[in-house]
Every structure is written in structure tokens, then in C-alpha cells.
Structure 1
Amino acid sequence: MSDSDSESLSESTILPALGACVVFTIDAVASLDPETLEDPEAVKACMSLASKPYVGFVAKRMGIYQPWNPHNGCMIGFLLQGRPKSIPSKSLESSMSIPIAPMTIGDHPSSRSPLNPSNPLPWNDCYLSTFWSAKVLSPTLMTETPIACKLARDEMRQLSRFLMADVRRHDILSAESSSASRSADLGDAEKEPGAPNPASSAEYDTAQPPSSGLRATIPPLAEDRGMLFSSPIGKPAIDDETESVKELIDYIFSKPASEMPITVNFTNDLSTVKELNDPADYFNELKALVRIREESRLRLASARALAIKEAAELNAKYDEPTINMLLARPQRRGRLSRFASATKKRIAGPVRPLLRFLWLRK
């Protein structure tokens, strides 16, 4: 058996396996930190959350897989049905996508050939997007369920090349957008008499261009630093700029995926999913989970503040008599000492001559 065959056999029992197409759901309770787990209200709210199944490819492991750890991390690339749309405001293009066989849509904007898994996907016209990904934790488990679809090493290398090309393209577009935006700001400043020059302001000098600020918080799958946004065809139209879509985009671009470690449960059984769910729903679930955690922290902070207040009131109630007693103790000790000294003198006066007479008779 070759090394590659041995590795493939070994990885086929690991859940999830690198390069495998998997189904995963958020485990809300397992995602809570130990402090929030002590809050019954938060646990109950998490148990009531409905988690949809999502499908994706295991693009990368987060660090070295450690079978002795209770959890291991990986980067998941969401599987999208339909070519992602362009979002010019975020410097994203439809070409920043990777087709996966079977594919009935031709003429990819980047002339890319579909990647071919070990077995065809049960859904047609699926894509991976450079900017649809999430870092997740999963329980360290072995599974007997075989891997239905998996990208071979050559396909994984091709995927990596596509991802890096999209990252470079996104950088170029972001830099151009940033330059155009600054030029427009300078032009507006020149048109307004007495307006401050942005180029001379400290805020302008220290501000990062949009691409740098964006990549600092939510960078793409290819660079293993987070997640960006792209919308598949057939979902709410980005072109309509509806409030819900705009809010979701703003949330995703402003909140790093690694802000809260999310634990998910994986399965290799693709037959459990008949239709791909929108990855946007995943991040809506994440928003709900973050909200539960923050509300729990507020309750905990309020409870702590109340406990401190009650303890202070009890201390004030019982400490005043105690303090008065302690302050009075040295005074009483002094009075007792003076009384004892005077008593000794009164007794010693008449007794001393008698004691001297008895001693001389000896």
C-alpha cells in the first residue's frame, strides 16, 4: 500500500476529512463558553435554536490534527448552488468562484474548468466562493460512514490556485476602489471653500484603506483568516439592495468569523440534504448565538452588581457596631489597667509592714 493510499484510508475515518464534502450543523450549546454554560436561561435559548444543515468542502485544517484533543478546527468552504453574483461595493466579482462538477452552466467568467470530486455531487451547478467560508471546531471523532465526495490532492492544489488568484484580484479591485474614494474626497474638499484637507488630517493619515481594514477582520478562505460575502443566484438579489441583505453584508464584513468559536457536528452522509441551504442563514444563526451570549453576560454582570450592592449594605449594617466595639476596646483596657494599679497600691500599703515584721523574726 502506498503512502497516499494509507493516508487516504486513515483520513477516511476522520470526521471531517480534509478535502471531503460534508454536511454540518451548528451545535449551539457546545459553542457556549464555560461561563455562559452556567446560565440556564442561555442554555435553554440555545436548545431552542433551529439549526439548518449546510454543505461544504473541508478546505484546510486549523493547525495539526490532534486525535487526543476533544476538538479540532478546520476551515469550511460553503457549497453554493448557482454562480455567485458580483458585489461591486465590496470589490467582489462573479468570476471569484470555483465550479464543481457536475456543471450545466458554461462560460465561466474566468474560463475555469470544474473541479471533479471522487464522485459527482448530488446537486448540479455548485460553486465554491473564495469569500464564503467559516472557521469551525468539531468534536474529534472517527466515522464508519464513507466519504461520498472528496477532492483529490491535485484538485485541492488547483482549488488553492484559484483561491489565491481571486484574493489577488480582490486586492487589486479594493486598492482601485480605495484610490478612487480618496481622490473623490480630495476633489470634494477642493470644491468647498475653507473645508479641511483630508490629506493633512491625522485621521486620514492613520486610516487603513478599505481592503486593509476588511482583510484585517474578515479575510478570505485562501488565506485562512476568515470569511467574506458573496450571494448565490436564486437568493435575495443584491442588486435590489434590500435592507435585510444590506444588514447581513454589514454584519459579515464587520464581525470576524473567529470572534466566537463555533462548534459544529459533521456527517459524511450527503443524502440527508435534499436542497442546499443558503449560507447566509448560517450567519443569521451565528448572530442569534452571539446575541444569546451577550444577553447572558449582561445578566451575569447585573447579578454581580446586585450581589456587590447587597454585600455592601450588609457590611454597612453590621460593621458599624463592630467598629464601635473595636474602638471602645482599648479605652476599656486602659480603664481596667488604671483600676488594677490603684487597687494594688491600696492593698500593699497596710500589708507591707506586717510582711517585714514576719521576715525579721526569722
Structure 2
Amino acid sequence: MIPHFGEYIAFKLNPVASLEYLKDPEVVKSLRSSGDEDLCCLCHLFPGVEYIQVAMTLLAQGLSPGQPDRFILPDMAVAVLPNTSNPLSRAPLNPTVPLPWPDCFHPTQATTRCRIRNDFTIGNPWPEPKYLLETEDGLLEEYCWKDAERKQALQEAQQPLSVDGGAADGPPDERDASVVTLPLPSEHDGESHHSRPASIVDVPLTTAPSWFSKVSNLFRGLVKKVSRCVPCIHAPLDDDDVKDFSDDPIWGLSLFGTLPPDTMPVIEVLDDLESVKQVNDPWDFFRELDALKKIQAESHERMKAKLRVDIDRTRQKDQELHARLESKMPKREPSSEDTISSSVKEDVKPGADA
């Protein structure tokens, strides 16, 4: 099922599809029983071809404990109706129909991008969304930017202590998660991704939120109009057809189908949001992604080891074949010239000139 722009959806991670590009049977076997947690989010989708790319702000029941070691505080959140409470007295978001849970918040720093398989066929009816945030996504974005500024200020205030040795380096907290999760690293850029943590936690803010909101609101309005009419395109497209408006990846968008990387996680949209009895902790989703990254890294190591074994086996077979061919080749009889030359060398003694 393809969601609408600004729709609240229930979803779960599809780990098998997320790591399908590895083509590793051991990975598939180990992932059959994972990815069972139901989560909820507000999604902003971008038209796609085989897969649709979705930007998501995850939902939590109750205030999330945050990620103190990543400078993400519990009050970095905004309530969603019917919930009206907020430690910062922020106005709640108002979807077209109040959510079926009474105590929902958006942790503003729990955002990511994933893929949804494009199962929509043009001409078929596209169901109207029930839980839709029509006009307040700009307000959510403003809260996200304000909390990102707070997070950066806390991080910068802590940096002098780290430099002076005031902060000890310890093992990462089990709730370690990301503000924006990276796509699963591809094989050709594995070194750059494995040298970093699994998530982005130190992205500096280089854009003023007020300026960003004004421009992005106009941009978002255009995207909404287009995405509601053309949710997806099934026909294969050339690279020229999917060229973005801008070379900047933040602003780039293709109206005729984006091509998200194979390494981007895949989620499955559940048919009924109300079927979810309890919204799971959104940070569990990021821990699942980190687990996929670990499985992916292990798969790469297995592939490298297998490649080394195959190379050694091939080299050994070549050497054995070369030895067999040499043994079957006729031996050359020494000529008379070779015999005379050998006799001369034997007659020459060291120090004979003396």
C-alpha cells in the first residue's frame, strides 16, 4: 500500500528486502524471524519507480526517554491530538482525525528515510487517507529545527570537556540511535561508512530554520500537488528522465521517479493503523537498522573470505595443471654442443689462471 504525502501510517521493517542486494543465502536465513515490531510514523513520500522513497518522523506513545549520550532530550518532542500535553507548551499537531492512542508524541529527532515497494498501478483507485497532517507539517519541521539547534548547542558545550579529558570514552549506550539514519553502505563505499558510526549525530546546522521553512513550504506545496496526482510511475526511465531539479541532494527531486539506492532500508506499510494496539519505542527501529548494518558487514567479510579461498583454490589448480603438463612434455635430448660446453666447464678449475 502506498501512503499519501503527510499521512500517518503503521509499518514494520522488512529486513530480508533491505539486504536482498547482498544475494547472501545465509543473511536471508538469519533474517526470517526479525523485523516483527509494529511502529508508526508521519510520512512524506517522493514519487518512485520500483520503490518509493519515504521521509519519516516516527511516533511514540508517551515521552521518549531520548538519547542523552547523543544530546537528544526527552522534551525534544511535539504532541499529536488527542494528546495536548507538552513539557515545552508546544501546540499539538492536528491530523484530520485524532490518532487512536491518547498519549502520542513525535520525537523530533527520530527521523529517517526508507523505501516502500511500489505496488500501485496507474488507473486503480488510490484510497483516501484517514489520518492526514494537511497543513501543520511546516510546524513540525520548525520544531525539528529548533530541537536540532538545541542538540547542537548541547554538543558544542560538551566538546571542551571532551578535549580536556573530562568525558571518558565508554561503550555506546544500547539505545544509541540516529537523528537521520544512513542508508546501508554499499560495497564500493564500505570503507567510508565503516569508519563512521552507524548514524549521523554531528551534522552542523548551516541553514536558518526560518529561511528554510519559507522556501521548503513552497516546495512542499508543489510536491503535494504532484504526488497526489502521480503517486508513482511504473515505466522504466533513463537517467536523463530522473534528473533532479537541483544538483544539491537536499533540494533535488524528480517528478518522474526517484531511484533510491539498494542499500536504503525497506519497510512494509500495514493495512490498518488502528490494528496496532501499542506503538513500539521508535528508537527500537534504529537499533534494528544498526543490527542490519552489522549483518551486512559480516556478509561482506564472508564474501571476502570466500573470494580469498576461491583465488587460492584456483591458483593451486593452475599450479597442479602446469606440473602435469610439464611432466607429459617430451624431455629434450642434450645436443653435441651442449655436451662439449659442459665438458669445458668441468675442466676449468677455480684459480687455474694463478
Normalising to structure 1: TM-score of the pair?
Answer: 0.60
Kindly report which structure 2 residues correspond to 1:157-306, keeping only aligned pairs within 5 A, or say none: 157-182=138-163, 184-185=164-165, 220=179, 254-256=197-199, 260-267=263-270, 269-306=272-309
Q: Displacement, 1:300?
A: 2.7
Look at both structures and tell me which one has the larger radius of gyration over its CA atoms.
Answer: 1
Q: In the superposition, relative to structure 1, how do residues 104 and 114 fare at CA in structure 2: closer, same or farther (>3 Å)?
A: closer
CA distance in 1, matches of 2:66, 2:267: 29
Q: In the superposition, relative to structure 1, how do residues 155 and 173 fare at CA in structure 2: closer, same or farther (>3 Å)?
A: same
Q: Displacement, 1:185?
A: 4.2
Indicate whether 1:309 and 2:312 are aligned: yes
- In the alignment, which of 86, 89, 111 is matched to residue 111 of structure 1? 89
In structure 1, the residue corresponding to 2:18 is in which secondary structure?
coil
Q: Deviations over 1:69-106 (max 9, x none)?
A: 1012122111011123355443222331111111153x
Query: Which runs of structure 1 show a deviation greater than 6 angstroms over 4 or more consecutive aligned residues?
Result: 324-327
- Counterpart for residue 102 of structure 2: 124
For the Cα contact (< 8 Å) 1:80–1:127, is it kept in 2? yes
- In the alignment, which of 149, 164, 173 is matched to residue 131 of structure 2? 149
- Counterpart for residue 65 of structure 1: 47
Q: Displacement, 1:178?
A: 1.5
In the alignment, structure 1 segments of 5+ residues that lack a partner are 1-13, 187-217, 228-252, 336-362
CA distance in 1, matches of 2:281, 2:198: 19
- In the alignment, which of 36, 41, 44 is matched to residue 51 of structure 1? 36
In structure 1, the residue corresponding to 2:6 is in which secondary structure?
coil
In the alignment, structure 2 segments of 5+ residues that lack a partner are 167-176, 184-195, 201-260, 336-354
Higher relative contact order, structure no. (Cα contacts within 8 Å, ≥ 6 residues apart): 2
For the Cα contact (< 8 Å) 2:3–2:129, is it kept in 1? no
For the Cα contact (< 8 Å) 1:30–1:263, is it kept in 2? yes
In structure 2, the residue corresponding to 1:41 is in which secondary structure?
helix
In structure 2, the residue corresponding to 1:109 is in which secondary structure?
coil
- In the alignment, which of 96, 111, 120 is matched to residue 133 of structure 1? 111
Q: In the superposition, relative to structure 1, how do residues 160 and 288 fare at CA in structure 2: closer, same or farther (>3 Å)?
A: closer
Task: Specify the code of the residue in structure 2 equivalent to 1:17.
Answer: H
For the Cα contact (< 8 Å) 2:79–2:92, is it kept in 1? yes
Q: Displacement, 1:180?
A: 4.2
Q: Displacement, 1:151?
A: 0.4
CA distance in 1, matches of 2:154, 2:313: 58
CA distance in 1, matches of 2:285, 2:75: 23
Task: Specify the code of the residue in structure 1 equivalent to 2:78.
Answer: I
In structure 2, the residue corresponding to 1:128 is in which secondary structure?
strand
Q: In the superposition, relative to structure 1, how do residues 89 and 304 fare at CA in structure 2: closer, same or farther (>3 Å)?
A: closer
Q: Deviations over 1:300-344 (max 9, x none)?
A: 33332222222222211120243466796xx68x98xxxxxxxxx
CA distance in 1, matches of 2:148, 2:267: 27
- Counterpart for residue 236 of structure 1: none
Indicate whether 1:32 and 2:19 are aligned: yes
Indicate whether 1:100 and 2:43 are aligned: no
For the Cα contact (< 8 Å) 2:116–2:266, is it kept in 1? yes
For the Cα contact (< 8 Å) 2:58–2:282, is it kept in 1? yes
CA distance in 2, matches of 1:113, 1:259: 38
CA distance in 2, matches of 1:180, 1:299: 41
Q: Displacement, 1:274?
A: 0.8
CA distance in 2, matches of 1:327, 1:177: 79
Q: In the superposition, relative to structure 1, how do residues 327 and 157 fare at CA in structure 2: closer, same or farther (>3 Å)?
A: farther
Q: In the superposition, relative to structure 1, how do residues 177 and 327 fare at CA in structure 2: closer, same or farther (>3 Å)?
A: farther
Indicate whether 1:78 and 2:54 are aligned: no
Q: In the superposition, relative to structure 1, how do residues 285 and 141 fare at CA in structure 2: closer, same or farther (>3 Å)?
A: same
Identity of aligned residues (%): 24
Task: Specify the code of the residue in structure 2 equivalent to 1:298.
Answer: E
CA distance in 2, matches of 1:117, 1:260: 32
CA distance in 2, matches of 1:171, 1:291: 28
- Counterpart for residue 8 of structure 1: none
Q: In the superposition, relative to structure 1, how do residues 126 and 300 fare at CA in structure 2: closer, same or farther (>3 Å)?
A: same
CA distance in 1, matches of 2:263, 2:77: 27
- Farther off after superposition, 19-28 or 137-146: 137-146
CA distance in 1, matches of 2:75, 2:95: 21
Q: Deviations over 1:211-260 (max 9, x none)?
A: xxxxxxx8735xxx769xxxxxxxxxxxxxxxxxxxxxxxxx93127995
Q: In the superposition, relative to structure 1, how do residues 314 and 259 fare at CA in structure 2: closer, same or farther (>3 Å)?
A: closer
Q: In the superposition, relative to structure 1, how do residues 255 and 161 fare at CA in structure 2: closer, same or farther (>3 Å)?
A: same
Q: Displacement, 1:270?
A: 0.6
In structure 1, the residue corresponding to 2:93 is in which secondary structure?
coil
Q: Displacement, 1:137?
A: 0.8
